[in-house]
A = this chain, B = another copy of it.
Amino acid sequence: MEPAGMAGAVPSTLPGPVRRALLAPLVDHHCHGVRGGALSRAAYERLIAGAGTPPAPGTTHFDTPAGTAVRRWCAPVLGLEPHAPPAVYLARRAELGAEEVNRRLLRAAGVVAFLVDPAEAPDETLSAAEMGRLGGAAADEILSLETVEEEVAREDPAAAGYARALEERLAALAGGAVALKSAVPGRRGLAFDPARPARAAVVAAAGRRLAAPKEPLDDPVLLRHLLWTAAAVAREHGLPLQIHTGYGAPGDQGRDRGYGGRDPALAAGLAEALHPAGVPLILLNCHPYHRGAAHLAAVFPHVYLDLAPPGPAASPASAVGELLDLVPYHKMLFGSHGRGLAESCHLGALHFRRALARALAARLERGEWDAAGAARVAHMIGSDNARRVYRL
């Protein structure tokens, strides 16, 4: 059965097997929870912008690629005409209520499993389990390393016991997680020495850290130490390690100091250092550095990537074709990177299918690929790779 809301999004001129592969259920290997309660127009606009700031006077955050896409593609899922005006769309949203809106948009995304990153979620954010229930899908949790570290720090261990407390907590939580995730590039960039920090340096840094345990983790030694501890735990539990690159999640920019260090190519040293651990290293976002990320995925057997521009519902359309000329097909994953609004999860899935459809259609039309190969690759990127890497 074709998922409602997606069938119209994939060109009917594609060969049947390719079209079916594109419409098959996806594994969304990285998303966040969406808000469960009612939203004012101002709150909705802040979420659609991803910036957390109100629109400038005389403008609206609906005048964005995300706004265009919501009006075009989400309006019909809520029973409206395509391109419904913002006020009409928001009125319909209020009329249906958050639960029904979320159910419709998540289900119509055609996702069979959500892997949910619960980090930094504000109140009224749905849990992974609630995402699964509303979306008619399986749901698993991604363990946010910085969140765990901040919990440990707040419990005020002695500096000498910090490393062990952290490792024990990660190990205890890893059993319930499907992956571990680091946001280190959003804190300090990727241009760091990838070597494991020495024990003495960790203890010294922990002493400073524990003097201000309520602050977000920002110490470069401890960020690296966290990565290395996580790699060991990930290896033990057979879990992959996700790492934000590119411009990261839109929530990052508040304390971001790493705008100059977001190129995933800077993670080459880290990839090399972690290679012996045998842990899959998954580069998240990558945009606009996806061409370089494709090189890492080709060169390192344990490196994977997805492709998502920052911001809810921005479209990677022009980049998917660029990537498909470069990346090994078994190294690319789908992640909506949705956050806050069910629209962003829905549009992530829709943009992915449409962009891949466009790239495959062009290759078929030019006689470069055959339909069987195109269908196989659509299945690989859409779900097979994620099933293999995350052992779903």
- A120 in the interface, Cβ–Cβ < 8 Å? no
Chain B proximity of A379: nearest CB distance (Å): 11
A315, B325: Cβ atoms closer than 8 Å: yes
Chain B residues positioned under 8 Å from A256 (CB to CB): 268
- A93 in the interface, Cβ–Cβ < 8 Å? no
Q: Which DSSP category, helix, strand, loop or mixed, fits chain A's interface?
A: loop
A288, B298: Cβ atoms closer than 8 Å: no
- A178 in the interface, Cβ–Cβ < 8 Å? no
In the complex, A54→B330 CA distance in Å? 13
A295, B266: Cβ atoms closer than 8 Å: no
- A301 in the interface, Cβ–Cβ < 8 Å? yes
B388, A58: Cβ atoms closer than 8 Å: yes
Contact A269/B265 with A63-B380, A298-B310 known, Cβ cut-off 8 Å: no
B287, A247: Cβ atoms closer than 8 Å: no
Top 6 closest pairs, chain A to chain B, by CB: A288-B291, A259-B268, A59-B330, A315-B325, A83-B370, A64-B328
List chain A positions with a Cβ less than 8 A from chain B: 49-51, 53-56, 58-59, 61, 63-65, 68-69, 72, 82-83, 191, 247, 250, 253, 256-257, 259-260, 262-263, 265-266, 268-269, 287-289, 291-292, 295, 298-302, 309-311, 314-319, 321-322, 324-330, 354, 358, 366-370, 372-373, 377, 380, 388
